């Protein structure tokens, strides 16, 4: 593979993930069974849903007693009041409740639809929550993979987010380990010799989005390996991607 060639390979054979399973070990075993060659610097992108399942971040809706707010909202927009209640509990701040949609800020600082609460690809009458600490989740998986393959790797935990001002959803990085999520071009020169003053690329988000072209929503391929991308491992903290309130023009 040349230095400017990027490969994205799906890891087949990931089974249904249940709470308490060692996800890192499962990914390593599936990678071995698929005879995928793992090289130093390879990046594993892991869908948030299987991370949440392994960590027990799922809620049975039978255990949820909706509040009056959840009941009113659900009745008005023909929603499941129990799911609305879970969303409210997972929200640190409600950004907008309108037209049947809830946009909120999670405890992690992510601003997304329904605080990341999702009923897709879960057993009936359950919803999944975001991992409590996505960076820690990525680190646990990374440790297992590096132990198995005896090379330095990186892990990105990804999830699907909507975007303001643009239709369609893309995958973004919720958690990272072994890879700096941002690439800072400030201080470098463009092709005309002008100094770049503001360009910082969210490479973890771009890699997560590229991986989603294989993982999809219906392919049952929640893990991919990205090969050939050069990156720094210093400062592997996904909170760098979350824009602080004092820099946000829209709060």
Distinct helix (H) and strand (E) counts, the chain: 6, 12
Fold of 60-128: CofE-like fold (3.90.1660)
Torsion, CA 109, CA 232, CA 194, CA 201, rounded to 10 = -30
Q: Establish whether domains 7-57+131-241 and 60-128 are of one fold.
A: no
pLDDT at 3 > cutoff 80:
no
DSSP 149-212: H-S--EEEEEEEEEETTEEEEEEEEEEEESS-S-EE-TTSB-TTSPBPSS-EE-HHHHHHHHHH
Does the pLDDT at position 181 exceed 60?
yes
Q: State the fold for domain 7-57+131-241.
A: 60s Ribosomal Protein L30; Chain: A; (3.30.1330)
Q: Is the dihedral angle over the CA atoms 201, 50, 226, 148 positive or is it negative?
A: positive
What tens digit of pLDDT does each residue of 50-101 get? 999 999 999 999 999 999 999 999 999 999 999 999 999 999 999 999 988 9
pLDDT value for 47? 96
Q: Which residues contact 192 (CB under 8 A, 6 or more apart)?
A: none
pLDDT of residue 199: 86
200 or 218: which leads in pLDDT: 200
pLDDT of residue 43: 98
Cα 237–Cα 212–Cα 143 angle in degrees, nearest 5:
40
Q: Where are the domains of the chain?
A: 7-57+131-241, 60-128
pLDDT digits (tens, 9 = 90+) for 88-113: 999 999 999 998 899 999 999 999 99
Report d(CA 211, CA 123) in Å as an integer.
Answer: 25
pLDDT greater than 60 at residue 1 = no
Which pLDDT belongs to residue 68?
Answer: 96
């Amino acid at each position: 593979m040349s230095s400017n060639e990027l490969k994205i390979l799906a890891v087949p054979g990931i089974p249904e993930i249940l709470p308490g399973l060692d996800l890192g070990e499962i990914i390593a075993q599936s990678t071995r069974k698929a005879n995928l060659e793992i090289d130093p610097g390879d990046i594993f992108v892991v869908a948030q849903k299987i991370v949440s399942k392994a960590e027990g971040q799922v809620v049975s809706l039978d255990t949820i007693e909706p509040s009056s707010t959840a009941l009113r909202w659900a009745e008005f927009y023909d929603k499941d009041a129990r799911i609305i209640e879970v969303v409210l509990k997972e929200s640190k701040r409600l950004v907008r409740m309108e037209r049947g949609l809830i946009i909120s800020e999670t405890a992690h600082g992510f601003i997304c639809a329904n605080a990341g609460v999702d009923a897709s690809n879960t057993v009936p009458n359950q919803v999944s929550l975001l991992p409590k600490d996505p960076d820690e989740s990525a680190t646990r998986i990374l440790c297992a993979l590096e132990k198995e393959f005896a090379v330095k790797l990186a892990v990105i935990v990804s999830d699907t987010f909507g975007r303001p001002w643009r239709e369609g959803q893309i995958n973004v990085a919720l958690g990272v380990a072994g890879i700096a999520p941002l690439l800072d071009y400030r201080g470098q020169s463009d092709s005309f010799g002008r100094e770049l003053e503001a360009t910082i690329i969210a490479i973890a988000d771009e890699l997560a989005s590229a991986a989603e072209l294989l993982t999809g929503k219906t392919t049952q391929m929640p893990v991919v390996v990205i090969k050939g991308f050069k990156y720094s491992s210093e400062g592997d903290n996904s909170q760098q991607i979350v824009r602080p309130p004092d820099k946000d023009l829209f709060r």
